[in-house]
Chains A and B, each alone.
Chain A
Amino acid sequence: MAPGLSREDVAKVAALARLTLSDEELDTFTEQLSQVLEHAKDIAALDLEGVIATAHPFGLVNVVREDELCASLDRDEVLAMAPDAEEGRFAVPRIMGEAP
């Protein structure tokens, strides 16, 4: 459990979330997030042994649909909104590294 949120923690989290922060932002966010987490400590400190997280407030289970075809989107319409497309596919700058 984190004693306090450090600048390094915030930098790591920003990287995980694909966000670049300036030094100033790093400072400001560290302070602000620390304050919010201060309040979250009330939650962290509770003894909730045996309490189970609720999945759906009204207990829905087994919601499924039949294995039946539905209309797909028109490719042109979809690619028209893409920032970059080539040969019917979405184009992206080079990918550094395989998928995890």
Chain B
Amino acid sequence: MSSATQIARDVRAGTTSALAQLDTSLAAIRAENDALNVFLHVDEEGADAAARRVDELVAAGEDPGALAGVPVALKDNLCQRGVPTTAGSKILAGWRPPYSATVIERLLAAGAVPVGKTNMDEFAMGSSTETSAYGPTRNPRNPERVPGGSSGGSAAAVASGMTPLSLGSDTGGSIRQPAALCGIVGVKPTYGLVSRYGLIAFASSLDQIGPFANSVEDAALLLEVISGHDPMDSTSLPEPAPSLLAHLEDGVAGKRVGVVRELVEGADDDVLASVDAARAALEDAGATIVELSIPECRLGLSAYYLIAPAEASSNLARYDGVRYGLRVDAEDVAAMNEATRTAGFGAEVKRRIMLGTYALSAGYYDAYYGQALKVRTQMIEAFRRAYLNADVLLGATAPSVAFAFGEKMANPLTMYLSDVFTIPTNLAGDPAISVPFGSGAGGLPVGVQLLGPGRSEAQLFAAARVLEVANGVA
């Protein structure tokens, strides 16, 4: 599939139509979706209408938008009006939201064509898309392997060429890790850069929506469209969308790149090799490399697995069978709540709800959740200090290449470790991007992670672009 940038250019120029692009996308989906289980729902009717609108605008000589005619896949935790939205769970089976997320409104306003909702770990809790109530998604690079998670479906949509762009969400690495495992670009923006209105919440203080793409340029294009202040989200940053495309070729000459020990230690050799190669590439491009240590990162996993489940336990309380979604009847409403939630939630969701409820409960709040919040403050300050000595940080995205199905499901802790390099940035609220760089065992892709201070996406993308070029992408 052509790049999003190219498609938009061609559609605006009239050399191709949005409908034609949609056809290509739908054909690719039809060919592979049964095997890969990428899409939970393909919205042919809606996509058709959106594509027609774009073509009409072009025909009328009006501006159809920056993403004119570009097919986009949406993670199934994004509310889209009238379209089934399940968050990968049985408890929302069949639910059609009466409203759309802000990011989707912005996509439509920019002429993009949403084609459907992609598979994910249930309520975004997972790192392999294996906890989905609708079956796992297979990694397009090797169908015997997981695509990563929780945004596995969105990553696979782009990696398989079904759509040039997709949206995912990242709470502890759920965009970056699948991007790395599938060999594509994935971005977690600065907390508050992209509106969360319409994103089915997992952990409110950590969740961010972000782009998947095959190129840094395409990712920048998508991020420019969806980011910027939203009055419907109190935590959204006050400023408008940043200018990213204009800075893509800024390069890294004179920049300091900090390689963070804690963001590589414990990674497999093939991953370490990629990080080394990336470091060399940045140095070749004129950056100075510094070795850094941010010991606070070691507490990241523990802090995260107290904060995220705590917020989730509260965010998921609303799924009680009263107003929408699944209801399992019972004699009284409390019994009905219980029967509904027991039937509707999978094991990982239950585990995290209980963990979170426990961490917040009387007598344990101070020791667990209260402490974790303080650790988070330390993490934020530690990163701020690190950025006194570096402009951009470099590390691994995931500890290994894509693993096999079932490999990490026996013990939840094993799965949680997949997020060890990505979690710190969610806690700090800073942006990070995973860029494919080299390949590892079995020819599977490896991603390296670039991190920057809050609101530094332009610089981050420029550094990512350098790596991309070094990796052979024009």
Contacts and interface: CB of A to CB of B under 8 A. Distances in A.
A and B found bound together: yes
A35 B317 CA distance: 24
B294 interface: no
Interface in B282-303: 299, 301-303
A44 B192 contact: no
B173 interface: no
Contact of B324 (A2, A32, A56, A83): A83
A14 B356 CA distance: 11
B322 A92 contact: yes
Contacts of A27: none
A81 B95 contact: yes
A52 B242 CA distance: 31
A57 B358 contact: no
A93 B303 contact: no
A63 B412 contact: no
Contacts of A84: 327
A58 B305 contact: no
Given A39-B413, A40-B359, A93-B330, 10 more contacts: A10-B354, A17-B313, A32-B413, A37-B355, A40-B368, A43-B372, A48-B378, A51-B378, A57-B192, A60-B238
A69 interface: no
A54 B323 contact: no
B371 interface: yes
Interface in A26-55: 29, 32-33, 35-37, 39-40, 42-44, 46, 48, 51-54
Interface string A68-100: 000001100110011110000010111110000
Contacts of A37: 355, 358, 368
Contacts of A13: 354, 357-358, 361
Contacts of A46: 299, 371, 374-375
27 contacts: A1-B363, A1-B364, A13-B358, A16-B357, A18-B320, A18-B334, A19-B338, A29-B350, A36-B355, A36-B412, A37-B355, A43-B303, A44-B371, A46-B374, A53-B376, A53-B377, A57-B191, A57-B428, A58-B237, A58-B429, A65-B231, A83-B321, A83-B323, A92-B333, A93-B332, A93-B335, A96-B334
Contact of B361 (A16, A57, A83): A16
Contacts of A40: 302, 305-306, 359, 368, 372
B469 to A, nearest CB: 31
B98 A73 contact: yes
Given A13-B358, A42-B299, A48 B375 contact: yes
Task: Give the 9 A-B residue pairs with the shortest CB-CB distance, closest first.
Answer: A57-B429, A83-B327, A53-B373, A51-B374, A48-B374, A44-B367, A18-B337, A20-B342, A63-B234
Contacts of A10: 354
Contacts of B412: 32, 35-36
Nearest to A15: B338
A57 B238 CA distance: 13
B370 interface: yes
Contacts, number: 172
Q: How large is the interface on B (under 10, 10 to 19, 20 to 34, 35 or more residues)?
A: 35 or more
A77 B413 CA distance: 42
Contacts of B313: 17
Q: Which of A5, A17, A35, A78 has the most CB of B within 10 A?
A: A17
A94 B357 contact: no
B470 to A, nearest CB: 31
A74 to B, nearest CB: 8
A54 B238 CA distance: 19
B235 A1 contact: no
Contact of B380 (A21, A54, A92): A54
A33 B322 contact: no
A48 B342 CA distance: 37
Contact of B341 (A2, A19, A39, A52): A19
Given A39-B305, A44-B368, A57-B428, A33 B334 contact: no
Contact of B98 (A44, A51, A52, A78): A78
Contacts of B372: 40, 43
Given A13-B358, A93-B333, A43 B95 contact: no
